Amino acid sequence: MRPNGRHTAGASQLSTLRVWATCLLLLSAVAISPGPAKAAPSQAAATTHVYLLRGVLNIFSLGLDTIGARLEAQGIPVTVANFVSWSSLADEAATAYRAGRLKTIILVGHSSGATALPDMIAKLNQLGVPVKLAIGLDSVFKTRLSTGAERYINIYIGDGPGEPVRAASGLRGRLDNVDVRGSGVGHITIDKNEAIQRRVIAEIDAAIARSRGPAPVAEPGALRPARAAAATAPGR
């Protein structure tokens, strides 16, 4: 007896539909299955705030935006603003610190933003707020640090417009002047240089890792002589 052609075709179509249905179920299961959970930021990171101060005209320090985006990807809150906002930002940080929302304050500035860092640190100290870390990138004017962060790193180009930061008598905290001349960076590019950005982020991560609460300012006598550490300059 010859098989019915229509019956054979119908069975084949039914088999195909079953295969497609199985595939759709598998795809649906993959689509709705939860992916790996994104790691929540640590408590130290969540109670840290990094203030990044751009320089003059607000258009030559856009590398700070990149640094800020990378920090935010790690769960670290940031504010990127022009250096002229340093005083209001200090008030904002002090309010959050007194309310207990903020425990660790870190400052980063480029060009005139770096020049403004000592003023912002001084105001925060006057308001009773310690600064864990400050990093200046090629401060363009002679900068004097009269009151300290726990650590202040001044990365400057010794044969360019940048200046080493001078320590006032009795300065509390650690000051490091790092001369990166010969590394291939310029005043306009220092904030955008990949090696510089990696160093800044690494210093911030290390400072947060050391945080166990409010960052104390180092006791008198803890100051180490400012040094030009060309050996630590990033490579080309």
In the chain, which residue ranges form alpha helices assigned H by DSSP?
Answer: 5-32, 43-46, 63-73, 86-98, 112-115, 117-126, 194-210
pLDDT per residue as tens digits for the range 165-202: 988 887 888 999 999 999 999 999 999 999 999 999 99
Per-residue pLDDT for 118 more than 90? Answer: yes
pLDDT bracket for residue 13 (50, 70, 90): low
Which residue from 167, 166, 91, 96 is spatially nearest to 127, judged by alpha carbons? 91
Write down the domain spans for the chain: 1-33, 43-232
d(CA 114, CA 207): 19
d(CA 208, CA 227): 24
How far is residue 201 CA from its own chain's centroid?
Answer: 5
Top-confidence range, 1-5, 13-17, 58-62, 151-155: 151-155
pLDDT at 15: 57
Q: What does CATH list as the number for 43-232?
A: 3.40.50.1820
d(CA 117, CA 173): 14
pLDDT at 216: 47
pLDDT per residue as tens digits for the range 199-220: 999 999 999 999 864 444 444 3
